[in-house]
Chain A
Amino acid sequence: MRYLPLSDADRSAMLATVGAGSIDELFRDVPESARLSGPIAGLPSHASELAVERHMTALSRKNTPAGEVPFFLGCGAYKHHIPASVDHLIQRGEYLTAYTPYQPEIAQGTLQVLFEFQSQVARLLGCEVANASMYDGSTACWEAIGMARRITRRTKAVISSGLHPHYVSVCKTMARFTGDTLDTALPELTAETDAERLIAAIDRETSAVVVQYPDILGRITDLQPIADAAHAAGALLIAVVTEPVALGAIRAPGEMGADIVVGEGQSIGVGLQFGGPYVGLFACREKHVRQMPGRIAGETVDAEGKRGFVLTLSTREQHIRREKATSNICTNSGLCALAFSIHMTLLGEKGLRSLAALNHARAVEVAERLAAIPGVRLVNDSFFNEFTLELPVEARPAVHAMVERGVLGGVSLGRLYPGVDSLKNGLVVAVTETVTDEDVNALEAALKEVVV
């Protein structure tokens, strides 16, 4: 077995050192009845690297990669170009095969990266501080609601109808077990967001208002009035960003009064990967840092006075506080945070703004062209790189019909909101810098055919 260095001679010599006659003696605590006498029946035996690669490659070929077709899917995961150096760097063994930096003297690489990541994320989201990442945007969103509960000691969260429905599902799952009440609603195919409903729903029981920015339909809403209303009632504003590239073009939620800003960082440096692993972004006001979940890297000095970094504020965490911890989270999404940070360093302010401008300009152009198709209506007044079309037909079959024409044309709201009649004609189309003229022509032609 190519991954197991011990030879049979080694094994014999080591068993002798241990004083065991056979390997079975080392498993003697396992009751005889529970011990398997040989390999588990019905499972294949070991395979060569070549054979495994062939098998996996064959499986991979049954999928349609985004890069091989005109591709317009978004709704929480976005296709962007990732510079080649990002993947090269994250495959360095010193990053890839390191563990959580519990021994800071020999983990300064990871720790400094996390400190830089936190600093980038805080600035991008417009907050004072950020943590070292969460599993993904949806779990970060739930953790933010829990954090707001701890800070306000209230249990009602008012959720915008523009929050990704899968995020809402995650929050509902958790709320069922923690006793939080969630005030939710379905979105409507209008240019207006539900800011007014949110403001009206805030009361003295409200822990937080949760608003996605841009929202699931791609709409952009001014968060300041919502923040003001929340603060007036002693509640917090949680903003959720699923497309961080947007923040190169639009104001940061933290600038508009959001107290906690969470997000999905996949868009920057992390590929689509069928939904994971991704990287949850989590930022907040400095005064709330001790209620923040997750790992945090902080600056300090070593015994010689040199600057260095450590994991800090760990008295919030499960390995110290056990059942009193702010969260049960034990890991972050380290390697994805590294990829995010490297890509963000390559972009810098200038690159991010250019990338955002490019995304937006293309989306504007594509929206205008598609809205000109007879029967197709553009729902949005405002959007970044993603907008919603109302088709004259159900969008879900239209998406499948476009697949037959070789186009991945968007995400149907029927997929995201099954059974909701008022949304079934909605199609969310994302347009990033990866989209070519030919892709747009193909989408336009396919959509024309499937809406008649």
Chain B
Amino acid sequence: MTINQSGWKPATPVAGPGDTGTTTGNRALMLEEPLIFEIGDSDTTGVDFSAPAQAGAQSSFDRAEEGTGPLPSQGHKLGTLARTAEIGLPGLTEPETVRHYTRLSRQNYAIDLGLFPLGSCTMKHNPRLNEKVARLPGFADIHPLQPRETVQGALEVINELAFWLIDLTGMHGVAMSPKAGAHGELCGLLCIRAALEARGDAREVVLVPESAHGTNPATAAFCGYRVESIPTNDAGRVDLEALQARLGPDVAAVMITNPNTCGLFEPDMKAISDAVHAAGGFVYCDGANFNAIVGKVRPGDLGIDAMHINLHKTFSTPHGGGGPGSGPVVLSKEISHFMPLPYVSRTADGIVHLIEEEQADEFSEEHFGGVMQSFGRMTAFHGQMGMFTRALAYILSHGADGLAQVAEDAVLNANYLLRSLEDVLDAPFAGSGPCMHEAIFSDAGFANGITTLDLAKALIDEGFHPMTMYFPLVVHGAMLVEPTETESKAALDQFIAALRSIAERARAGDENLKSAPVHAPRRRLDETLAARKPVIAYRTPAPDGADLPTPSPVGDR
């Protein structure tokens, strides 16, 4: 080990309250920014409408385009509903707008700025080619209800991406319309429920490992199932014996994350699938962690019936500060024919069809042996087209060889972190072998009073985004670190050095950790206050400015 020879260092002195030393509250490039409601007003706008044409050339349209004010009092077709009340929307001119959002952007951490090791979130580099192709007018400027003959290229994109997803997963079919991972989970479980209903089998229970993402039990409950937890064994895997013991005629499905949320592959996956199938149930796989195995393992070979793929994780469509995501679901032969509408299909004549409700029967014979029984539509249109173009560009750039390299490098990077840190951070499953794409640590060994949160906040001061904290729930004070394959060794070494230093301070009981971060745009924020007295929309202060309204008590219960 050549890094971090120095070990623990004293913490940077903490600035006193309000100790900015400036009259503006700004600190050089760290800029404060008010709300648009505090700097804009209802008479200001950053858009112009064309001036009317010169005399003689003025058409009625040009008159309309003067756009100087509200609606005419007569000649409109709004019945009695023309708006009279002020909306209260502040406007800014273009330069003010650009400055407002640029200043705010600088208060965000981002992958473009540095390592963003949020476990289970797969924060990898977002190639800019993908942004460029998504903005081609032929993709960005087409309407979802345009006639088929005017959108053949878009349908081809969906078809081509579907082909890749099916091949990479070894599955039978894919539903492209789900709009995010949780929406994909819903899609998969609805297919499973529809399949059970079709055979007249009213099963009530979905089994979910206690290490699962919260969306798994939430989705199962939404679909009307009772959720039961299955335990994790000491090696961080699903307890196969406990699972087998619980299987029975009331179990509709088992939801497994593989690789799981401890960053470990479930070596018994095929045995789990076989046992579930033997008991008449189905296997849902949460594909959140597909990045670890893309191009290396096909989930279809493991007996899985449904798995969502987060295009915003494995296939690098941008996370955008919390969406939009995209969650296509690959499906086994047993349940593909229950998939949602619409779907896309290319016929022998080369035409790509968008199969909506009316053609579903016509195409049923061709694709599903005449048994298409779609459970219906999940969203108004065809899914996240803007994410499909990006994901396809990403996949084509890597190719089958590059994707396998993605998985290998992601796994190598995670293991490198694991082995470079396990002497200073407790790694509960490190003894059982390598991890996959993420490494998990616990807070065991921290001095009394020092928590995972303190360590995470100290990472912020070091210029890194913290790892996922307190998840999965099966590890005390969990820290789930996923570097992804797009980090260089040098970047990993910097991160390791910083994290080692903080871990040593945590073990030594450095109380300064409790006040981190001190160098971020904000110190620790009072989340309890935010939830107790929610202020979730701007309220204009009283005219005299003296009595700011106190948040009113809210809530039904």
Q: Are B42 and A350 in contact (CB under 8 A)?
A: yes
Q: Are B536 and A129 in contact (CB under 8 A)?
A: yes
Binds A, one of B275-283, B365-373, B400-408, B444-452: B400-408
Within 8 A of A (CB), among B206-264: 213-215, 217-224, 227, 264
Most buried by A among B82, B87, B405: B87
Q: Are A46 and B399 in contact (CB under 8 A)?
A: yes
Residues from chain B with a CB closer than 8 A to the CB of A27 are 265, 296-297, 411, 434
Given A1-B405, A63-B150, check contact A17 B419 (CB 8 Å): yes
Residues from chain A with a CB closer than 8 A to the CB of B150 are 63-64, 403, 408
Interface extent on A, as a size class? 35 or more
Q: Are A327 and B321 in contact (CB under 8 A)?
A: no
Bound Cα distance from A354 to B212, whole angstroms: 50
Bound Cα distance from A53 to B393, whole angstroms: 8
Give chain B nearest CB distance to A241 CB in angstroms.
Answer: 13
Q: Are B154 and A286 in contact (CB under 8 A)?
A: no
Q: Are B46 and A345 in contact (CB under 8 A)?
A: yes
Give chain A nearest CB distance to B403 CB in angstroms.
Answer: 8
Give chain B nearest CB distance to A239 CB in angstroms.
Answer: 12
Bound Cα distance from A189 to B305, whole angstroms: 45
Q: From A63, A91, A166, give the contact of B131 (CB < 8 A).
A: A91
Give chain A nearest CB distance to B540 CB in angstroms.
Answer: 10
**At the interface, yes or no: B476 with Cβ under 8 Å from chain A?**
no
Given A110-B322, A220-B81, A303-B524, check contact A77 B144 (CB 8 Å): yes
Q: From A112, A271, A288, A355, give the contact of B47 (CB < 8 A).
A: A355
Bound Cα distance from A26 to B386, whole angstroms: 35
In this complex, what residue of A is CB-closest to B95?
A85
Within 8 A of A (CB), among B48-73: 49, 59-61, 63-65, 67-72
Give chain A nearest CB distance to B232 CB in angstroms.
Answer: 15
Q: Are A45 and B400 in contact (CB under 8 A)?
A: yes
Binds B, one of A196-204, A227-235, A247-255, A444-452: A247-255
Q: Are A20 and B142 in contact (CB under 8 A)?
A: no
Bound Cα distance from A109 to B323, whole angstroms: 15
**At the interface, yes or no: B376 with Cβ under 8 Å from chain A?**
yes
In this complex, what residue of A is CB-closest to B410?
A4
**At the interface, yes or no: A156 with Cβ under 8 Å from chain B?**
no
Give chain A nearest CB distance to B198 CB in angstroms.
Answer: 13
Within 8 A of B (CB), among A38-57: 38-40, 42-47, 49, 51-53, 55-57
Within 8 A of A (CB), among B81-115: 81-92, 94, 97-98, 100-102, 104-113
Known: A88-B98, A273-B142. 14 other contacts (CB 8 A): A14-B415, A28-B433, A43-B399, A52-B397, A60-B133, A63-B153, A105-B525, A110-B108, A177-B193, A274-B151, A331-B180, A349-B43, A360-B76, A400-B149
Binds A, one of B5-13, B329-337, B500-508, B526-534: B526-534
Given A56-B136, A289-B555, check contact A93 B110 (CB 8 Å): yes
Per DSSP, chain B at the interface is: loop
Q: Are A139 and B179 in contact (CB under 8 A)?
A: yes
Residues from chain B with a CB closer than 8 A to the CB of A408 are 143, 146-147, 150
Q: Are B142 and A65 in contact (CB under 8 A)?
A: yes
Q: From B379, B419, B521, B529, give the contact of A135 (CB < 8 A).
A: B379
**At the interface, yes or no: A195 with Cβ under 8 Å from chain B?**
no
- 23 interchain pairs (CB within 8 A)? A1-B402, A34-B301, A35-B296, A60-B139, A63-B153, A65-B137, A76-B380, A87-B135, A89-B102, A107-B108, A109-B108, A116-B37, A124-B87, A170-B379, A249-B78, A299-B530, A300-B530, A322-B227, A333-B324, A336-B324, A354-B68, A362-B61, A382-B79
Given A52-B397, A173-B377, A360-B71, check contact A351 B45 (CB 8 Å): yes
Within 8 A of B (CB), among A207-265: 220, 222, 247-252, 255, 264
Give chain A nearest CB distance to B110 CB in angstroms.
Answer: 4
**At the interface, yes or no: A276 with Cβ under 8 Å from chain B?**
yes
Q: Are B357 and A418 in contact (CB under 8 A)?
A: yes
Bound Cα distance from A298 to B534, whole angstroms: 6
Residues from chain A with a CB closer than 8 A to the CB of B385 are 273-277
Given A43-B167, A115-B35, check contact A286 B554 (CB 8 Å): yes
Give chain A nearest CB distance to B353 CB in angstroms.
Answer: 14
Q: Are A59 and B156 in contact (CB under 8 A)?
A: yes
Give chain A nearest CB distance to B53 CB in angstroms.
Answer: 10
Residues from chain A with a CB closer than 8 A to the CB of B381 are 76-77, 136, 166, 274-276
Give chain B nearest CB distance to A418 CB in angstroms.
Answer: 4
Residues from chain B with a CB closer than 8 A to the CB of A324 are 221
Within 8 A of B (CB), among A122-144: 122-124, 128-130, 132-133, 135-139
Within 8 A of B (CB), among A78-128: 79, 83, 85, 87-110, 112-113, 115-116, 118-120, 122-124, 128
Q: From A11, A299, A335, A357, give the contact of B535 (CB < 8 A).
A: A299
